[in-house]
Chains A and B, each alone.
Chain A
Amino acid sequence: MPSAPVRVILPGMLRDLVGGVAEIEVESPGETQTVAELLDRAFSGHRILDGKVRDERGQIRRHVKVFVNGEDATRGEGVGAPVPAGARVHIINAVSGG
C-alpha cells in the first residue's frame, strides 16, 4: 500500500526560480526517509533549488531552515533527520541579515 506523499512548501523567495511553484509533492518510498533523501527527490525536477538550499557537501545552508511537521530539523539531526510519510516540510529563509 503506497505511503502518503510528503508536501515540501517553498518560501516565496525561491518560487520565482521554478515558475511560481509553491509546493512540491514527493512520493514517500516507505514509512520514513531522511531530509537528505527527501530533498534529493524534491529537487530532481528543480535542480536550481538544490544549490540554494544546500551547499555542495549536501549541508543545509546556514541561514536556511527546514521544518518537518513544525519541528526545526536543522537544530537536531540535520539532513539525517527522519521525515515520516505524509509530513509537511517547510523550507524557510531564516530571519537574518542586515
Chain B
Amino acid sequence: MTRGNGWIGTILRVNLTEGTIKKEPLNMQDAQDYVGARGLGTKYYCNEVDPKVDPLSPENKLIFMTGPLTGTAACSSGRYEVVSKSPLTGIIGAANSGGHFGPELKYAGYDGIIFEGKAEKPVYLNIDDEKVELLDATELWGQGVHPVTEALEAKHGKVHVATIGTPGERGMLYATVMNDKNRAAGRGGMGAVMGSKNLKAVVVRGTGGVKVARPEGFMREATKARTMLREHPVTGAGLAALGTEVLVNIVNEVGGLPLRNGRDGSYWDKADDTSGERLVETHLIKNQGCFGCTIACGRVTKIEGRGELDGFGEGPEYEAGWSYGAACGVNDIGAIVKANFICNEQGMDPITLGSTVACAMELFEMGAIPESDIGFPLRFGDAMAMVKLTQMCADGEGFGNIIGLGSYRLAEKYGHPELSMSVKKQEMPAYDGRAIQGIGLEYATSNRGGCHVRGYMISPEVLGIPIKMDPLVTEGKGALLKTFQDLTALCDSTGICLFTTFGIGLPEIAGQYREAVGSDETDEEILLKGERIWNLEKRFNIEAGVEKDTLPPRLLREALPSGPAKGKVSELQTMLADYYEARNWTSDGIPTQEKLDELSLTY
C-alpha cells in the first residue's frame, strides 16, 4: 500500500499546549493493518496514549481520522471517526460521523488530525489547504453549535466546520462533536475531550481530491455497490421515505421497545404517536443525504404552532425518538423533536441524555429523588418537564448538571445504580435485550459500552437482513455477532456509512477497498482486519480497566410482563460462552495469545 492509493499520506499533529502544528507522513503500515478511520485512529491512539490517562487531562489526545474510501466515489463515503478515551465510560470512545467534513479534510490534504495538550485559551484550528493555523476562539466560547458554525462560515467562506457546544466546553460527559451543524460524532463524550483542550472548532476548506490505485476497477466496484443500494428496498426507498424512525412500530410489534426506562416492559400502545410515519405527517420538511450518499435517510424537520417548542433542524433518528419517547413515556412528537433539536444545537448525545431523564423519572416516581433537588415534578409522560430538563442540561443549570453525568452516576448518587439502563456506564439504545436476545449480547460485549452500532443484531433478528433469526432464541447468536462486529469495524474504518450494509455486504465493501488501495487481499483477509481492530479495542479496554461484559440486572432478572416476549429475560450467560468461543477468547472474555498472534497484534 502506498500514498495516493485512497490516502493523502499526511497527518496533522497539533500540540495545543505549545501552539505548534506539524505535518507528518501517514504510517502506511498501520494504515494497511488497521484500514483507516475507526481502526487506524484507534491504533494511533493506542500507540501514543497511556490507557490509564484521565480523559479530560492535557495528557489525553483527540484524533480525527478518515478512511481510504472517505471522499472517494465509493457509496456513502462521507464518514470519519473521532477517537479518544471516553470520559463517560473510561474505555475507548471512537465515534463516527457523516456529513461533508471528513471528505473536505482529505481534499485539504490530510488523512487525519492528532490533537495533543491543552490550549491556554480557547482556540480553533483553521485549515485552508496547505495553510493551517490556530486562531483565537474567545468570542466563540460560550456559544452553541449553530451560531459558531454560521460565524465561522461567515468569516472563512465555503468551509466545513466541526465544533462543540457549551456542554463540551464544560466537560459534560456525553458532549458530542458536531459537524455540518447537525451531524454528530455522538457517543462517549468526544466533545468533552475537545472542550477540555480549549479547542472550540475545526474549520476546513479543501480544493484537492483523492486518488485511488486502480480507477477503472474502483469505479466498477463503486457503481456495482451504488446500483445494489438503489435497488434494495431499504436503502433505495425505505430509509429515504420514512427515515430510521420507521422502526418504532416494528420493534414495538415484536415487544422490544423499552418503555419507561424499561420498568414497564417493552410494548407501548402509544408507540405509533412517535413513529416515522407520524413524523412524516407532522414535522418532516424533506429528507437529505450526507456526502456521496444515495440513501439520504436524514430528516429535515420543523415545529410550528407550539409556542416555545417551535424550531427548525434535523431528526430525530430512531434512537433519539425512542430515548425521548418510549423511554420517557412521552408520546408528544413535537416535544421529542424539540428535545432532539436542543441536543443538536448544543452538542449532546440524545441517547444518553433521554435515557438519563428516563432514569431520573423512575427515581422520582419511586421517591428516591426529592422534588426539591429537581425543582419541579418529573413523572413519566411529562413532555414539557422532559424538554425543560434537556434545556437545563444544555445550559448547565441546576439539576441539569446531574443529568449531564449520565444515568449511571445519577442512579448511583441516589442509591439505585441498578436502575441505570447502561453497559459500562453508557446507555443502551432502543431495543430490549430480553425480547431480542442477540442485541442484548451485543450491548454486553460492545467495546464502547451500551451501543447498537457495533454489531447491529436487529438486522437478522427483526428485519431478516441478511438472514432471518428468531429474536427469542440464543443459538447461533454468539458466532453471528462476532462476524457482525468484525464487519462493522471494517466498514467504519473504510470511511463508508454503516447503513450501506443493509444493501451490500463484505464482497462489495472489500471490492471497493481493494481497488482504492491497490490490494490483492481476499475478502476474508480484509475481514480479518476488522477482527484485528476489534481485538485492539478490547486490549486497550482491558489495560484501561474495563468492567466485565454484562447487562443491567433488570434485563437479567425481571421478566417482560407483556407482549410477544412475555416472561423472557436475557439469557446472556449462554450467549456469552458461545461468543467467547467464537472469538477464541478465554471463558472470562480475554483474547488468547493464540488469537493475538493470529492477528499479529502486539498491543
Question: Are A and B a genuine interacting pair, yes or no?
Answer: no
Residues of A at the B interface (CB closer than 8 Å) are none
